[in-house]
Amino acid sequence: MNRTAPELTKYAADDHSVAIARFLGRDVRITDITHISISKQVSVERMEVQLATEEPADDTGMLYLYPIGGNRYCMQLCYLQTGDTADEPLRLYSIRYLPDFFDQFPAEVLNAGRPFRFDETTEQQFSVCSKTRALLQQVEQELTAPPLIRSLQYTESAIQLLRRALECITVPFVSCQVPACRFLAYESERDKITEAMRILEENIDQPQTIKDLSRKVAMNECYLKKGFKAMTGKTIHEYQQSLRINEAKKLLQQEGRSVTDVANILGYSSISHFSTAFKKLTGMKPCELLA
């Protein structure tokens, strides 16, 4: 199905909202939003967000691709970035690459060695590295250069972010091997990560914030996040969510508990929040598992 220019604009905007909701997978409130003007091919929004629960958040990235017919498509990168301290707000970056952006590349270039198909809707998670964080900072800098140079600089950063995301997806993340994170060369530090895993496993119904978890195991928050990902291959939030959803499947399937009971037992703030988290991890609604 081919779309006219106004339809493409509406399509991209609708998918933009859907992608943000799917990306966060939880109740969220946007407290501030900044539109960064780049070009007719690329648009950027930076948002400050507050989660409705104290469920921990970790830096993460997601790529969404939407075919729109006629061998054309829109692509969107979403990034959730935590602050260096617990007092700093969470930031959500949304970068959209419209169909005209990809028209500049020959079809054989786009289709060679691609990590996914361009003719079907795609959703791919990727890791957020220090290089990506630096690029995001460049995107939000208030440049004093003339408009054309400023637009070129922003475009350059947006292209590098896309390249980095595709590189991360093409070459899947592999858990760091000790002592790739140098502090994990010490057994005492690895024991702290193991203790953090134990705390999460024993408190499935009580979501732990990174701040609380770091205090309980006596480890710096940044080291805890990096070390946890290195040893488990998952962020703290991903690990905690997988524990809760696995327990939810057991309660629903083996014990026949209702969706409401399971949401309450596992400490979710609402049934909708539980259903969203469940579907994000399993691809189905909790009630479907009961059926």
Between strands 42-51 and 122-126, the pairing is: unpaired
Please give the pLDDT value at position 177: 44
Instruction: Give mean pLDDT, residues 150-154.
Output: 86
First to last CA, the chain: 36
Q: Which domains, from first to last, does the chain contain?
A: 5-170 (no CATH), 182-290 (1.10.10.60)
Cβ 217 vs Cβ 195: under 8 Å: yes
Average pLDDT, the chain: 78
> What is the Rg, in whole angstroms, of the alpha carbon atoms belonging to the chain?
21
Please give the pLDDT value at position 114: 64
Would you say residue 92 has pLDDT above 70? Answer: yes
Comparing CA positions, the residue from 30, 32, 22 lying closest to residue 51 is 30
Determine which of 140-149, 187-196, 268-277 has the lowest per-residue pLDDT on average: 140-149
Please give the pLDDT value at position 125: 78
Percent of the chain with pLDDT over 90: 8
User: Could you tell me which residue, 71 or 210, shows the higher pLDDT?
Assistant: 210
Phi, psi of 66, deg, nearest 5: -125, 110
Beta bridge partners of 42: 97
State the pLDDT confidence band at 1, using cuts at 50, 70 and 90: very low
Please give the pLDDT value at position 199: 93
Please give the pLDDT value at position 291: 54
Express each pLDDT in 215-237 by its tens digit. 999 988 888 888 888 888 888 98
